Amino acid sequence: MLAVPHSPESPLPLKPSLQLCREFLAGGLLYLEAGEAPRRNGSDVFHRHRSDSYFVYVTGVELPGYGALVDTETAHLTLVAPRLPEEMSYWVGRVPTLDELAEQYGADRVVYDDELAGLLAARPSADLHTLPGSADKVKKLAPAGWRVTSDVLSVCMDRCRATKTDGEVACLLAASVASGGAHMDMWRACRPGLREYQLEAVFSMSSRCRGAPCPGYPPIVGSGPNAAIMHYEALEGTVEAGHLVLVDAGAEWRCYTADISRTFPASGRFEGAARDLYGTVLAAQEAALDLMAAPAVGGPAATLADADRAARRVLLTGLRDMGLLRREATGGSDWLDAALDAKLDRVFMPHGIGHHLGLDVHDVSDAGPVPKGPLAPGHVLTVEPGAYLIAPLLARARTDPRVAPFVDFGAAEALMRGGLGGVRIEDNVLVLDAGASGEQGVAAAPGLRGRLYNLTEAAGVPKAMAEVEEVMRQEWRPADALAAWC
């Protein structure tokens, strides 16, 4: 089974993923750029640099100002380094030599950026593939007779990036370990009276101490009613004793991000309607995971849309059983089918069940962030059902004659007055070869379920209510995060 890289310095074999590009690009070269750190307001202060994902995919280089030239026939990688003035060594530290860069990043050759045009001129003319953002610059560099195109590279790379290599999965698992540890530190640190941004600060501190330098997206920490705001980023609210706190946060490791959501009770105990709602969402997630985990033998593999549908059926049934939805709405026809036909599920879960995950939180594929076809080995996907009490959606539901008869608005409002906002539970899973886990005798490894390897479970992040409560009873010890990579 895949091992977690033991330290942030472990080398990772990212470069082989590049060979996939050869299938799609008929020869030629490709040129990619890391990009520059954005300036703050045109001043001489910069925001933190984060290299372009396509560039990282090919080079693993996280530094600004670099470029990469790749021969798609031979996978020969030329790293293009900015020629930095001598005085940079005392502003930003020692500048590595070209030999050191070649060694560190496994490049076949490293040149300075002012040598690139000469290097191209010395070669026979060819197609030069790049991304739209670099096209103008590359056109100026390319000698006469070369064809510079940005039409196909992103499509080709999106297709490659959808199927993760072992090295990429190792990065994602490391991101999951760091992010998961930080989630659990938030549970331990949580108490009524804290502000949401204080919990977010615990996440940042803990994940950074665990080797993940920055979040892959703005963390969502929504307490009580704020849990019902899908992309809540204000983080100014106060955690109250009766609240559920919804956290959707993931940190990057080598630019690969986790995307983990957990919901926990501020009091340390799941009780009443919060308990019912959590149980419903957890059951919906289990239904989706079971469906995705079933081996594809003799028939087409499940799709994420199948998992989405399975989760919504469980969700609606659970919401009905907890008294939010009316049983008598359909006058005899199958209740679930009628509810789904009316899109009742969209009132309570307005987002999809998941998406690709990788260098970007909504990662790329040739079908976009959400896979359309059968689940395929190498896909890393989120599985994230949720159920929320969203005031504007409930208001709209009241005026929709197809949906309104299903909803007990009085019950929903009573729960909202009690401060209940919503629940989301999100794991990250790798799709394995069909039947892989059973045959290889590793079925007992944490996180393995049929043809799924659940990175979040493998990282030791619980979601059963009793286990979440157990972690919440533990003392928060920041020193544990400091020791995590020692």
123/231 with CB nearer Mn ion: 231
Query: How far apart are the C-alpha atoms of 143 and 130, rounded to whole Å?
Result: 15
Q: Which residue's structure tokens are 């039947």?
A: 435
- Nearest approach in angstroms of CB 362 to Mn ion is 7
Q: Tokens in use for 371?
A: 């896979």
Helix 409-417 vs helix 391-398: angle between axes, to the nearest 10 degrees? 160
53/104 with CB nearer Mn ion: 53
265/386 with CB nearer Mn ion: 386
- Nearest approach in angstroms of CB 387 to Mn ion is 16
Q: Angle at Cα 372 formed by Cα 368 and Cα 378, nearest 5°?
A: 80
Q: Which stretch binds Mn ion (CB under 5 A): 223-231, 374-382, 401-409, 468-476?
A: 374-382
Q: Which residue's structure tokens are 């539901």?
A: 397
- Nearest approach in angstroms of CB 217 to Mn ion is 8
The count of residues interacting with Mn ion (CB under 5 A) is 2
Residues of this chain, 95-134, that bind Mn ion according to CB under 5 A: none
Name residues whose C-beta falls within 8 Å of residue 247's C-beta, 6 or more positions apart in sequence: 183, 186, 199, 203, 219, 220, 221, 222, 261, 262, 263, 264
What are the phi and psi torsion angles at 90 (to 5°)?
-100, -5
Taking the CA atoms of residue 197, residue 201, residue 202 and residue 206 in that order, the dihedral angle to the nearest 10 degrees is 150
Q: Which residue's structure tokens are 């300075």?
A: 112
365/382 with CB nearer Mn ion: 382
69/249 with CB nearer Mn ion: 249
185/259 with CB nearer Mn ion: 259
204/261 with CB nearer Mn ion: 261
Per DSSP bridges, beta strands 147-149 and 127-130 are parallel
Task: Give whole-number Cα distances, 348 to 147, 163, 229, 262, 280, in Å.
Answer: 51, 32, 12, 17, 12
Asked whether position 457 contacts Mn ion by CB under 5 A, the answer is: no
> What single letter denotes the amino acid at residue 296?
A
223/382 with CB nearer Mn ion: 382
Neighbours of 39 (CB within 10 A): 11
- Nearest approach in angstroms of CB 109 to Mn ion is 39
196/259 with CB nearer Mn ion: 259
Contact 72, 25 (CB under 8 A): yes
- Nearest approach in angstroms of CB 111 to Mn ion is 39
Helix 196-209 vs helix 166-189: angle between axes, to the nearest 10 degrees? 140
Q: Which stretch binds Mn ion (CB under 5 A): 110-118, 215-223, 375-383, 411-419?
A: 375-383
Q: Among 134, 207, 267, 382, indicate the residue that binds Mn ion (CB under 5 A).
A: 382
- Nearest approach in angstroms of CB 250 to Mn ion is 8
Q: Which stretch binds Mn ion (CB under 5 A): 40-48, 67-75, 254-262, 287-295?
A: 254-262
216/265 with CB nearer Mn ion: 216
Per DSSP bridges, beta strands 127-130 and 29-33 are parallel
Asked whether position 360 contacts Mn ion by CB under 5 A, the answer is: no
Query: How far apart are the C-alpha atoms of 180 and 172, rounded to whole Å?
Result: 12
- Nearest approach in angstroms of CB 104 to Mn ion is 32
Asked whether position 259 contacts Mn ion by CB under 5 A, the answer is: yes
* CB under 8 A, 24+ apart: contacts of 444-453: 445/1, 448/1, 449/289, 449/290, 449/293, 450/293, 450/294, 450/295, 451/292, 451/293, 451/294, 451/295, 451/296, 451/375, 451/377, 452/289, 452/292, 452/293, 453/1, 453/2, 453/429
- Nearest approach in angstroms of CB 142 to Mn ion is 39
- Nearest approach in angstroms of CB 248 to Mn ion is 7
Q: Which stretch binds Mn ion (CB under 5 A): 107-115, 129-137, 175-183, 376-384?
A: 376-384
- Nearest approach in angstroms of CB 355 to Mn ion is 6
Q: Which stretch binds Mn ion (CB under 5 A): 13-21, 67-75, 102-110, 380-388?
A: 380-388
Q: Which stretch binds Mn ion (CB under 5 A): 201-209, 253-261, 413-421, 447-455?
A: 253-261
Q: Which stretch binds Mn ion (CB under 5 A): 110-118, 122-130, 252-260, 415-423?
A: 252-260
Contacts to Mn ion by CB under 5 A: 259, 382
